[in-house]
Amino acid sequence: MAATTTDITTLSVIIPAYNELRTIATVIARVNAVDVHGLRKEIIVVDDGSTDGTRDVLEGVRREGRARVILQPANRGKGAAVRTGLEAATGDLVIIQDADLELSPEEYPRLVAPFLEDPSTQAVFGSRFLSGAREGRPLAVFANRFLTSLTNLLYGASLTDMETCYKLCRTPVLKGLALESDRFEIEPEITSKLLRHGCTIREVAISYQPRTRADGKTINWRDGVRAIMTLIKWRLVRKV
């Protein structure tokens, strides 16, 4: 196990959730259970206006002290939930954890390790494509690879998975990006602004268990268009 650097003591985990009754309790339990190099974990669940009973589960989580729970007054989108969670985060590092369990909290130690090994590390992405993991529906795979290639073309980067949920950053770095997105375009906005700020993004291979629309997947082609426009927007603006 890597030795913990003196400036990193707490990992903030932001869990945006919308109608995740089937998985929300499990993901919170797994985040609580994982040992991340001895770091304290600050778990912040932001419910984005769920109507399926997720909020009832979260009330129990709040009462038992298993996570801090923030309730959005209405459904605004993943980006809005992430921004709300980021405002509340107080840890040295912050990671986004989707509530659907496509990605495994047990891989946090692998993602955090570069920060402990190299104090200059500012951002680490978990790449689904470095590990040979299941990649999901062909159209989704094509969209992810296209958006990643566009990112690399526009920003001179060499990423393999721009759209990954697992974006782990030093908290002051992520807060300093002044994020604006309300929906899924939060992913390209974070990536674009990190690169525009001159941050080197390291990638670590992670596993992936894709879910389908029948499982509650809500992202669609319109979000892909928004992602393209977001990448272009933050490349062209003069100052970020």
Residue 2: per-residue pLDDT: 43
State the DSSP code for 144.
Answer: H
Cβ atoms 235, 193 nearer than 8 A: no
CA distances, 214 to each of 103, 210, 211, 218, 223 (Å): 18, 12, 8, 10, 18
- Among 102, 87, 122, 75, residue whose Cα is nearest residue 164: 102
Q: What is the set of domains in the chain, with CATH numbers?
A: 10-236 (3.90.550.10)
pLDDT for position 223: 81
Please calculate the CA angle 217-102-218 and round it to the nearest 5 degrees: 10
First to last CA, the chain: 37
How do residues 185-210 score in pLDDT, each as one tens digit? 999 999 999 999 999 999 999 998 87
Report how far residue 23's alpha carbon sits from residue 25's, in angstroms, rounded to the nearest whole number: 6
Please give the Cα distance from 219 to 147 (Å, whole number): 14
For residue 98, the 8-state DSSP code is -
Q: What is the phi-psi region of residue 82: left when phi exceeds 0, alpha when psi lies from -120 to 50, beta otherwise?
A: alpha
Alpha carbon distance 136, 114 (integer Å):
28
d(CA 219, CA 205): 23
pTM to 2 decimal places: 0.91
Report CA torsion sign: 238, 229, 171, 199.
Answer: negative
- Give SS3 for 70: strand
What pLDDT sits at residue 9?
97
* Nearest partner of 1 among 41, 40, 36, judged by Cα: 36
Question: What is the average per-residue pLDDT within 124-150?
Answer: 83
**Tens digits of residue pLDDT in 140-189:** 788 899 999 999 999 999 999 999 999 999 999 999 999 999 999 999 99
Locate 78 and state its tokens: 């993943």
Distances (CA, A) of 3 to 115, 117, 166: 10, 8, 22
Confidence (pLDDT) at 114: 97
